[in-house]
Amino acid sequence: MGYYDQDYENRYKKPKGNKGGYVLASLVGVILGALLVAVAFPRLMDNNLIPGNSAPAEEATENRNAVETRNVAVNVETDITKAVDKAADAVVGISNIQGTGFWEGSNGEEAGTGSGVIYKKEGGKAYVVTNHHVVEGASSLEISLTDGTKIPATLRGSDVWTDLAVLEVDGSKIETIAEFGDSDALRTGEPVIAIGNPLGAIFSGSVTQGIISGLERAIPVDIDQNGIVDWQAEVLQTDAAINPGNSGGALINIAGQVIGINSMKIAESAVEGIGLAIPINSAIPIIEDLEKLGKVNRPYMGIELQSVNEIPSYYQKEALKLPEDVTNGVAVMRVEPNSPASQAGLKELDVIVDLDGEKVNDTIELRKHLYTKKNVGESLKVKFYREGKLQETTMKLAGNTL
What positions carry a catalytic annotation? 133, 163, 247
Residues near 216 by beta carbon (within 8 Å), at least 6 away in sequence: 234
User: 97 with 108: CB under 8 angstroms?
Assistant: yes
Share in percent of the chain as helix, strand, coil (round to 5)? 25, 35, 40
| H helix count then E strand count, the chain | 9, 20
Cα angle 89, 90, 95; round to 5: 100
Alpha-carbon distance of 360 to 328, in angstroms, equals 8
User: 397 with 377: CB under 8 angstroms?
Assistant: yes
Question: Which helix H or strand E contains 219, and what residues bound it?
Answer: strand 206-221
Rounded to the nearest angstrom, the gap between the alpha carbon of residue 149 and the centroid of all alpha carbons in its chain is 25
Residue-by-residue DSSP string for 151-181: EEEEEEEEETTTTEEEEEEE-TT------B-
Residue 196: is it exposed, middle or buried by C-beta count within 10 angstroms (0-12/13-18/19+)? buried
Q: Nearest Cα to 367, choosing from 310, 308, 303, 311?
A: 303
Alpha-helix residue ranges (DSSP H) falling in 198-279: none
Residues near 222 by beta carbon (within 8 Å), at least 6 away in sequence: 228, 229, 230
Q: Report the half-sphere exposure of 390 (CA within 13 A, side-chain side).
A: 7
